[in-house]
Structure 1
Amino acid sequence: MSVNAVRNGDAAPAVGEHARRIAGGLTPDEFKGAFRNHPAGVAVVTADAGAGPVGLTATSVFSVSTEPPLLVFSVSELSSSGPTILMADTLVVHLVGSTQLHLAQLCATSGIDRFADTTLWGRLDSGEPYFPSASVWIRGRVVDRLDAGTSTLVVVHALETQAPVAGSDAASAAESQPLVYHNRAWHALGENSLIPPTEGH
């Protein structure tokens, strides 16, 4: 249920009820097939709601507003990290590059302690767990949670970030090799994929 709906006293429809109203669409396989050739940037989300750190790999992160600075991502009801992510007031979204593929793979692997290697992670001064080696990380406060089928959309107000300074070697390296997930495989997006602008554009 939307936090805003709760605050405004509006009754949000139950997920099952909403799903029944829109039944008859694509099958899960058809829907996944339609998106299989649509590449997505890769992010890692970390949080700790008081019972220890969790992390998940997401390809659903995107910005929705600059004033205020808001981003969203989705959490599947099947995610083992989901309950903690959804309970957390604050969290960290890491926008990982190809050199941090190991972090994406780590947080996408089920049944392991993703934080067993203490050399990979630390805590921000504000307490959230994070991966210092990520190209970019954004600490934010959760401002809304919206039921969406078998997932929950999480809306985050960005509070703090660490990103390479524009024009620096680190910035160039991070920007030239983003990590992309496409057709069930990891890809490094580099100069070879650049399409020159056509005349008049």
Structure 2
Amino acid sequence: MSQRNRLIVLTGPTAVGKGTVEAALRGEHPGVWVSVSATTRAPRPGEVDGVTYWFMDEEEFLAKERAGEFLETAVVHGMAHYGTPLRPVEEHLAMGVPTLLEIDLQGARRVKERAAELGLEVVYVFLAPPSFDELVARLKGRGTETPEQQAKRLETARVELAAEDEFDVTIVNNTVEQAAHDLWQVIAQEYGIR
């Protein structure tokens, strides 16, 4: 695969704003294709099947996993399965469409394990919070998890933050607009876009 068809993997700790930055990026650059992950977790208010995630039960998910239909899979926060459908990623890369995966640390590590066997070239981007205190404030401000779920996510976040040096590029999410701009710069460079 040529350098101009590299998969961009965006990860970072829980509640760092990966989805928000990705949405801002797509608002400015709608030609970027973002993979829609599959999950066994229940939809949150406003989430749409096939747009936000492919929602499925555990039996369906595990059958697809056994069939090799995912680029990566992970169990996140010990609660739900997540996975990246492989075929759409390969199709968009083959067409030269800037292709982005927004996934958690486990998923990024799994992509690293499988990329070579699948012939994928990947650029790994770590989205970091300005500080751990800011990450805590963002997580609590979302209001989508119970205090117990928040505690589990923050425990996970500490581990995820320690993995920053495993990535090719770090972008600090001080503001969504700047982080989206910085992410676009990485994509534009990899795809030869001016």
Larger gyration radius, structure 1 or structure 2: 1
Q: After TM superposition, is the score higher than 0.5? A: no
Higher relative contact order (CA 8 A, sep 6+): 2
TM-score (norm. length: structure 2): 0.25
TM-score (norm. length: structure 1): 0.24
The structure where helix makes up a greater share of residues is 2
